[in-house]
């Protein structure tokens, strides 16, 4: 079951029942009288607003709209009514850089990411001028604490959405036209993978082009031309974008005509009892079929042209790389003299011969040592064999005398038996 805004408010830990009275009151005076309570209320509202945005409770995924008290009304909670300090809350969040006024963000001419911090020299100068009234900073709060009619961007959510959508834009497929769009074709492509409304799309496009320089933008006759990458938009790029935009419109037209033809066919089958009406439907079908065939033919022709343009662009890139490669090879070869190469090869051959000679000398010395060690091992083995033979001879003599000894011991054994009583 889908949760309502009230459900989300009551399920948010920072909005437990004991805190609701304070959160929905006009707590402006707490900033001086109870700073900790004031900061806790600001933090709680920040948590809630971001939570509502991430759960798609507003008309935007990255901003809250306060026009016509819509935000205050949507956050009302019985019996406390609408929050009395939303203006103060948003002002504090703007001061911390958490929220950004939509009108100021879209009108800025420099990157918001690189805006000077409050601790920079420029930031201190801006603060000083503001304090004496020369520069007036944006204030979201009216005198009664309500919010001005404005849209307020949650900066972190905009950055997250912008980076997430940017990862879906394919600019490394090797097809040149993939990085070129009109606002219509880009909006359509993004909507195939992410549901995004036109307001969020405009903010994301501003973030990409101005804040992180992910793409270049040029507006001509109310058409926004977009090119991803660092290079500027050329006349050729504009021509390719126009072709892609026309293909986009033709594709939509083909789908609509095809659906209309199918509808007429179905209606005709259901109206066979009224031949006059069926004839009218079939006549319309023939007209639409003719338009559909013409539109499909135009689509196929432009698709072929776009493919050839991509091929031509690839050929140009390859040609440019060949020219560059030729220059690199020529430059490297100019640093090498063929006579020097021959001399170096001769030197290498001489050094290799020396290595072989040294190896042979070392091998001869080692061979003498091996022969000496082998002779010593043979002598040692022969000496061991002589010792073994002498030992065997001695053992043989002992075995020959053994029967005589046994005969001498026999009478003694007989006497021992006689002495032992039976």
| Whether residue 149 is found in the same domain as residue 182 | no
Q: Would you mind telling me the total number of residues written for the chain in this entry?
A: 422
Q: What is the dihedral of CA 321, 327, 332, 333, to 10 degrees?
A: 120
Number of domains within the chain: 2
Give the per-residue pLDDT at 409. 59
Q: Are residues 247 and 136 in the same domain?
A: no
301 in a structural domain = yes
Look at residue 347 and tell me if it is in a domain.
Answer: no
Distances (CA, A) of 208 to 15, 62, 202: 36, 15, 10
Quick count: other Cβ atoms within 10 Å of Cβ 255? 11
* CA–CA separation, 339 and 101 (whole Å): 73
pTM beyond 0.85, yes or no:
no
Evaluate whether residue 420 is within a structural domain.
no
From CA 246, how far away is CA 240, in angstroms rounded? 10
In this structure, the answer to whether residues 24 and 144 fall within a common structural domain is yes
Domain assignment present for 399: no
Q: Is the confidence at residue 348, as pLDDT, over 50?
A: yes
Q: Residue range 15-31: average pLDDT? A: 92
Q: What percent of the chain has pLDDT over 70?
A: 86
Q: Which two tokens stand for residue 95?
A: 């001061």
Residues 149 and 113 in one domain: yes
Q: Domain containing 53: what range? A: 5-153
Are the C-beta atoms of 203 and 158 separated by less than 8 Å? yes
Asked whether residue 406 is assigned to any structural domain, the reply reads: no
Is the pLDDT reported for residue 129 higher than 60? no
- Predicted pLDDT at 399: 66
On whether both 98 and 129 belong to a single domain, the answer is: yes
391's CB contacts (< 8 A; 6+ apart) are: none
Tokens 């126009």 correspond to what residue?
Answer: 242
User: Does residue 307 share a domain with residue 214?
Assistant: yes
Between β-strands 99-101 and 151-154, what pairing exists: parallel, antiparallel or unpaired?
antiparallel
Calpha distance 347→105 (Å, rounded): 71
- Whether 120 and 199 map to the same domain: the answer is no
Is residue 298 in some structural domain?
yes
Structure tokens at 185: 């074709």
* pLDDT at 127 > cutoff 90: no
Across the chain, mean pLDDT equals 85
Edge-first strand listing for the sheet containing 99-101: 63-65, 151-154, 99-101
d(CA 168, CA 175): 16
Q: Is residue 416, in this structure, part of any structural domain at all?
A: no
147 plus 181 within the same structural domain: no
Res. 337 pLDDT band, cuts 50 70 90: confident
Report yes or no: 151 and 65 within 8 Å, Cβ to Cβ. Answer: yes
Closest CA to 247 of 304, 175, 197, 173: 304
Q: Which residue has the tokens 């061991």?
A: 384
The whole-number pLDDT of residue 401 equals 59
User: How confident is the model at residue 419, as a pLDDT?
Assistant: 56
Strand 63-65 versus strand 215-220 pairing type? unpaired
CA end-to-end span of the chain: 114
* Beta bridge pairs of residue 180: 227
Q: How far apart (Å, rounded) are the C-alpha atoms in residues 177 and 239?
A: 10
Residue 199 near residue 63 (C-beta atoms within 8 A): yes
| Res 327 pLDDT > 60 | yes
Q: Average the pLDDT over each of 18-32, 54-68, 171-185 and give the range with the smallest value.
A: 171-185
Residues 180 and 143 in one domain: no
Residue 229 lies in a domain: yes
Last residue of a domain, one of 282, 301, 329: 329
pLDDT tens digits along 216-247: 999 999 999 999 988 999 999 999 999 999 99
User: Looking at residue 387, what is its pLDDT?
Assistant: 87
Rg (alpha carbons) of the chain, rounded to whole number: 47
Under the banding of pLDDT at 50, 70 and 90, the label for residue 130 is: very low
Q: Are residues 87 and 145 in the same domain?
A: yes
pLDDT tens, residue by residue, 171-208:
555 688 889 999 999 999 998 878 899 999 999 999 99
pLDDT for 371 equals 77
User: Which of 329, 348, 382 delimits the end of a domain?
Assistant: 329
Whether residues 229 and 299 fall in one domain: yes
**pLDDT above 90 (res 421):** no
Choosing from 280, 302, 329, the residue where a domain stops is 329
CA–CA dist 283, 312 (Å, integer): 44
pLDDT per position as a tens digit, 374-401: 888 888 888 888 888 888 888 887 766 5
Cα–Cα nearest to 208, from 192, 230, 188: 230
Write out pLDDT tens, residues 64-105: 998 877 898 999 999 999 999 899 999 999 999 899 999 999
Instruction: Give the tens place of pLDDT for each residue, 260-316.
Output: 999 999 999 988 888 898 999 999 999 999 999 999 999 999 999 999 998 998 898
Same domain? For 51 and 101 the reply is: yes
- Secondary structure of the chain in the HEC alphabet? CCCCHHHHHHHCHHHCHHHHHHHCCCCCCHHHHCHHHHHHHHHHHHHHHHHHHHCCCCCCCCEEECHHHHHHHHCCECCCECCCCHHHHHHHHHHCCCEEEHHHHHHCCCCCCCCCCCCCHHHHHHHHHHHCCCCCCCCCECCCCCECCCEEEEHHHHHHHHHHHHCCCCCCCCCHHHHEEEHHHHHHHHHHHCCCCHHHHHHHHHHHHHHCCCEEEEEECCEEEEEECCCCCCHHHHHHHHHHHHHHHHHHHHHHHHHHHHHHHHHHHHCCCCHHHHHHHHHHHHHHHHHHHHHHHHHHHHHHHHHHHHHHHHHHHHHHHHHHHHHHHHHHHHCCCHHHHHHHHHHHHHHHHHHHHHHHHHHHHHHHHHHHHHHHHHHHHHHHHHHHHHHHHHHHHHHHHHHHHHHHHHHHHHHHHHHCCC
Residue 134 is predicted with a pLDDT of 39
pLDDT (mean) for 40-48 = 96
């Amino acid at each position: 079951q889908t949760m309502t805004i009230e459900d989300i408010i009551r399920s948010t830990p920072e909005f437990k029942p004991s805190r609701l009275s304070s959160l929905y009151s006009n707590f402006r005076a707490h900033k001086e009288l109870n700073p900790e309570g004031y900061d806790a209320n600001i933090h709680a509202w920040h948590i809630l607003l971001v939570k509502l945005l991430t759960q798609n409770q507003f008309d935007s995924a990255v901003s809250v709209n306060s026009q016509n008290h819509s935000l205050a009304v949507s956050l009302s909670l019985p019996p406390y009514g609408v929050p009395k300090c939303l203006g103060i809350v948003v002002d504090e969040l703007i001061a911390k850089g958490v929220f950004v006024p939509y009108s100021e963000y879209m009108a800025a001419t420099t990157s918001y990411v690189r805006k000077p911090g409050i601790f920079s020299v420029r930031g201190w100068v801006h603060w000083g001028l503001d304090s004496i009234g020369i520069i007036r900073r944006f204030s979201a709060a009216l005198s009664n604490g309500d919010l001005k009619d404005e849209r307020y961007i949650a900066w972190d959510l905009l950055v997250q959405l912008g980076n997430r959508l940017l990862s879906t834009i394919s600019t490394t497929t090797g097809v040149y036209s993939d990085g070129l769009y009109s606002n219509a074709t880009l909006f359509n492509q993004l909507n195939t993978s992410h549901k995004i409304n036109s307001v969020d799309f405009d903010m994301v496009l501003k973030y990409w082009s101005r804040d992180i320089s992910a793409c270049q933008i040029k507006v001509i006759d109310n058409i926004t031309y977009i090119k991803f990458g660092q290079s500027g938009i050329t006349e050729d790029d504009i021509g390719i974008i126009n072709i892609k935009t026309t293909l986009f419109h033709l594709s939509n037209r083909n789908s609509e005509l095809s659906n209309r033809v199918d509808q007429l066919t179905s209606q005709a089958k259901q109206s066979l009892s009224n031949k006059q009406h069926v004839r009218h439907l079939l006549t319309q079908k023939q007209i639409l079929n003719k338009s559909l065939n013409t539109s499909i033919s135009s689509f196929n022709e432009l698709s072929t042209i776009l493919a050839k343009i991509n091929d031509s662009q690839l050929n140009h890139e390859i040609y440019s790389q060949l020219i560059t490669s030729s220059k690199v090879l020529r430059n490297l070869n100019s640093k090498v003299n063929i006579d020097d190469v021959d001399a170096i090869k001769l030197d290498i051959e001489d050094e290799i011969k020396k290595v072989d000679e040294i190896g042979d000398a070392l091998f001869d010395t080692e061979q003498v040592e091996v022969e000496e060690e082998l002779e010593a091992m043979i002598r040692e083995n022969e000496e061991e064999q002589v010792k073994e033979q002498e030992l065997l001879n001695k053992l043989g003599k002992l075995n020959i005398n053994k029967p005589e000894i046994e005969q001498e011991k026999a009478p003694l054994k007989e006497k021992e038996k006689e002495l032992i009583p039976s």
